[in-house]
Amino acid sequence: MTSKLSKNNFQTSVDDPYGFDTPIDRTYLSTKKWEAEIARTNNPDLLCFGTAEMDFAAAPAINQAMQRVVENKHFGYPSKRDSYFDAVIEYFERHFDWRIDKDWISSNVGVYPAMQSLIEELTEPGDEILYQTPVHHVFEELITASGRVAVPNQLLKRNGHYEMNFEDLARCVTPRSKLFLLCSPHNPVGRVWRREELEQLNRFCLAHGLIVVTDEVYCGLLYKGVPFTPFASLSDEASLNSVTLVSASKSFNTTGLKHALMIAESEHLQAAYSRGLKRSNLGYGGSIFGEAATEAAFRDCDHWSEALMHYIEGNFKRLKSKLAQDLPLVTATQPEATYFAWLDFSALGLTDAALQRFFETEAQVNLVTGASLGPGGEGHVRFNLATTRACLSEGLNRISTAWRQRQTHDA
């Protein structure tokens, strides 16, 4: 199926200036999202909507930055130039009215390795770390792998809309609670937390002595007209009591370039992070390609991002229309950010294990099942919309057809 899709002769146009409708040539690619899942299932016709990356070519400015690195013919340890810091600082001020200083910025190979360093330096074994579920499974894995206690605070779902559950959060806190891990924008439910929600969370964490570590890696994937507030931008108190982890990786499809940023105003939190880097030996050098791509992404790709999210919103509308037509019992949470659709299949009456078998075996599509994302994820799936319209349509058709065939067989 993938080879058939790759032969569609789409061209760039005014409505698609960056060729998002054009399938990329996968001849020499080997990715976790596609090739690894096809090998795992031994199904060359599998369509993959799981792993959190896009099926699109990187922005032209990023490709040009990569070419310049290659043309220099030297791939040693990089040193960040002023232009790198200027690009980062200006991006966050331009988009979110958040003014950060150069001295607040450090880096890592990824958001989660940076989070691990902070967990190990800011807490002791046996300490409790709070986080909001359903959320990416690595949150819980990092906590427990470090010998800490993972305490899930399940989000509230009211009329298909997710909210922070402050009543439950108050019950979660004990004298051993030390950190709060915030996912903002939230993966997988697609919420962009409003300023007043974040302010309430900030007051709560300050009152209970919880340091906030916020994963803001999806902040560049906002639906049109949705404002995003970096947690640290709320106030001086919030800035000094939090660490922001962010990367160009998700917003600009550079996950393989292994570069992320740690932003913290507090010298105490900066020092803790630096100690963690020494333990892992990740504080020296870095990815020369990752740094070049990050600079280009934050400085030169605003128009590409706008076009991308226009395309993603169009994909979500198509998905929602198809579900209403063929699977009306399945509901889709309206996303405010990310390239995910968070779908509730619980009304179909399948267990989580049966739901996964249905998708991979009967519909021949790969998705992320919500049960793996913690309490509140049961009966849901995360559908990656960052693919071509042709691939999206084929995947949705497969799901609809497989469900009709199942109903016919059961009848």
The two structure tokens encoding residue 296: 């280009």
pLDDT at 3 over 60: no
The two structure tokens encoding residue 305: 């991002």
CA distance 259 to 248: 8
The separation between CA 350 and the C-alpha centre of its own chain, rounded to angstroms, equals 27
The separation between CA 48 and the C-alpha centre of its own chain, rounded to angstroms, equals 17
Q: Which residue has the tokens 């699109």?
A: 56
Residues 334/157, Cβ–Cβ less than 8 Å: no
How much is the pLDDT for 13? 57
Architecture of domain 2-57+302-410: Alpha-Beta Complex (3.90)
How much is the pLDDT for 411? 58
How much is the pLDDT for 4? 40
How much is the pLDDT for 182? 98
Q: Which fold has domain 62-300?
A: Aspartate Aminotransferase; domain 2 (3.40.640)
Q: What are phi and psi of 203, to 5 degrees?
A: -60, -40
Q: Do domains 2-57+302-410 and 62-300 have the same CATH topology?
A: no
Name residue 25's amino acid: D
Query: Alpha carbon of 236 to those of 67, 203, 231, 245, 265: distances in Å?
Result: 41, 12, 11, 18, 9
Residues 212/244, Cβ–Cβ less than 8 Å: no
Q: Categorize the per-residue pLDDT at 248 as very low, low, confident or very high, splitting at 50, 70 and 90.
A: very high
Percent pLDDT > 70 in the chain is 96
pLDDT at 113 over 50: yes
Which residue ranges make up each domain of the chain? Answer: 2-57+302-410, 62-300
**Ramachandran category for residue 225: left, alpha or beta (phi over 0 → left; psi -120 to 50 → alpha):** left
Over the stretch 321-346, which tens digit does the pLDDT of each residue have?
A: 999 999 999 999 999 999 999 999 99
Helix, coil or strand: residue 324: helix
pTM of model > 0.75: yes
Q: Categorize the per-residue pLDDT at 384 as very low, low, confident or very high, splitting at 50, 70 and 90.
A: very high
Alpha helices in 211-337 (DSSP H): 236-240, 249-252, 267-280, 288-300, 302-326
Over the stretch 264-286, which tens digit does the pLDDT of each residue have?
A: 999 999 999 999 998 888 777 89
Mean pLDDT of 278-299: 91
pLDDT at 15 over 90: no
Residues 58/386, Cβ–Cβ less than 8 Å: no
Mean pLDDT of 211-221: 98
Of the candidates 158, 217, 211, 150, the residue with the CA atom closest to the CA atom of residue 185: 217
How much is the pLDDT for 16? 85
CA distance 321 to 328: 10
Mean pLDDT of 368-375: 96
Q: Categorize the per-residue pLDDT at 6 as very low, low, confident or very high, splitting at 50, 70 and 90.
A: very low
Mean pLDDT of the chain: 94
The separation between CA 206 and the C-alpha centre of its own chain, rounded to angstroms, equals 26
